[in-house]
Amino acid sequence: MDENLLETGDLSLTLIWPKESDENIYTCRVYNKNGEVLMMKDVWLRVKVQQVEVESGVESVLLPWRITEDLDGVVKVEWKDKYKRIVHVYQNGSDQPGEQNQIYRNRTKMDENLLENKNLSLTLRWPKERETGIYTCRVFNREGTILMMKDFLLQVKVQQVVEVEPGVESVLLPWRIREDLDEDVRVEWRDGSHDLVHVYPNGSDHPGEKNQFYRTRTKMDENLLENKNLSLTLRWPSERDTGKYTCTVYIEGTILMMKDVQLQVKGTVQNQPEDTRTRSNPTDPLMDYQSV
């Protein structure tokens, strides 16, 4: 606040590096010596967050932040997601992948000369719908003081919606690719609760790994590597099957590509409450992903 506010009559408040979570009503009250309110004013702070929209299935998305300030003395640049998980860390002149949450490992990149180029942008590979939310970048000095901060709202839209009538024999969740795939890739389809729907590792189906809800109900192309066909056939779809399905391709634990498909069994409402299929702690954000 103004150090001479009694002289200047300026009761304004300066808030450094406002962020999306700071949006609120702020109230200033002026009291006399007896504690009586002499005057009062409300101010509504609205923080506009830069929004980045992208469709799931794209190879990467950029959260752009170029600055004009010199970054001398900066020792740490940190990106976090809406759950406060560490997305990317740049410290003492290099990336620190060991500090990342495992779900972002090998999926993020920053400018190697970010201090010189004043470029704090983050590239996130294979963004998916569940990664929609606020991402925050903070810049720290040697004393751990925040020098600057910015929020981004990433909006990942489901690229494809498949509608089907209840009672049909099967439905196809399509995904054909152009890229060549090595024989040691692992292809996983998972539902919106992250239950395993179908897995194709090392060139052969492994039905024993699937959630029992889907056992005997799914099928993929037997020559999917050769035909570049990652589509999934789901037999006898019902209302409980409505929701988002994600196909992820891994090699040695690294995500190569990823795509979301929304299945809508007609007569059901999208974004319906989760059912009671077998899974653990479905509300825990840390359970969004599992190690490969």
Per-residue model confidence as pLDDT tens digits over 145-196:
899 999 999 999 876 789 998 889 999 999 998 888 888 889 999 998 889 9
State the pLDDT confidence band at 274, using cuts at 50, 70 and 90: very low
For residues 55-68, average pLDDT: 89
Both tokens assigned to 115: 């201090």
Both tokens assigned to 191: 């539902």
pTM: 0.62
Per-residue model confidence as pLDDT tens digits over 102-135:
889 889 999 989 989 999 999 999 898 889 999 9
The least confident of 119-133, 215-229, 267-281 is: 267-281
C-alpha–C-alpha distance, residues 74 and 88, integer Å: 16
C-alpha–C-alpha distance, residues 220 and 200, integer Å: 8
- 246 neighbors 128 (Cβ within 8 angstroms): yes
Domains of the chain, first to last: 5-45 (no CATH), 50-157 (2.60.40.10), 160-270 (2.60.40.10)
Count the residues in the chain.
Answer: 292
**Phi, then psi, of 94 in degrees rounded to 5:** -155, 160
192 or 289, greater pLDDT: 192
C-alpha–C-alpha distance, residues 93 and 91, integer Å: 5
| Angular region, 123: left φ>0, alpha ψ -120 to 50, beta rest | beta
Angle at 104 between CA 270 and CA 18, to 5 degrees: 80
CA-nearest of 50, 32, 30, 22 to 135 is: 50
C-alpha–C-alpha distance, residues 67 and 201, integer Å: 44
C-alpha–C-alpha distance, residues 144 and 59, integer Å: 34
State the pLDDT at residue 280: 39
